[in-house]
Structure 1
Amino acid sequence: MNDHSKIAPDARGQLIGTVEIKKIGNSSGIILSKDVLARMNVTVGDKLYATLTPDGGFRLTPYDPDFEKAMEIARRGMKRYHNALAELAK
């Protein structure tokens, strides 16, 4: 394993593990350790979302920014039309 496969700590965080890139068929995949999966609270089959960071890197997270945006719009609509939705629920 070379030095490029390790996650280096930075001023914002701490080292929590390393990742390994492996060939999977015609694609490549990142192998995450059990410890990293546990810290992220994800299991095999869950989706992770890659977002770009201002410093040119990227962040993997189980948080879906598009879903959160849609939920915020839904919350505003439910608040605005609370009375109408309550009547429809009867």
Structure 2
Amino acid sequence: MLAFKVTTVGASSGFILTKEAMAKLNVKKGDTVFLTDAPGGGFRLTPYNPDFERQMALAEDVMRADRDILRALAK
């Protein structure tokens, strides 16, 4: 388990990710991370945008369902 202390960052509050935490999250300086609700009432910190993932899943469903139409349009 990794622990972080909340500190002042400019006029806001934040916490600093250690090199170990950045490696586990697979992020680098300048990347965006997302805090989302997790099952069971907790939270999840992830570098993946859940809205974008949902949109991509919907796009994949459309591409799979309408494969023949998309193939014809590509010609």
TM-score, scaled relative to structure 1: 0.73
Matched residue type, 2:58? I
Matched residue type, 1:23? T
Aligned length: 75
Highest relative contact order (Cα 8 Å, sep 6+), 1 or 2? 2
Higher percent of residues as helix: 2
Computed over aligned residues only, the root mean square deviation of the Cα atoms, in angstroms, reads: 1.4
TM-score, scaled relative to structure 2: 0.85
Alignment gaps of 5+ in structure 2 = none
CA gap 1:54/1:88 in 2 versus in 1, 3 angstroms: closer
Aligned counterparts of 1:46 and 1:88: Cα–Cα separation in 2: 36
Residue from 39, 55, 71 that aligns with 1:70: 55
Alignment gaps of 5+ in structure 1 = 1-14
Query: Which consecutive segments of 4 or more residues in structure 1 shift more than 4 A?
Result: none
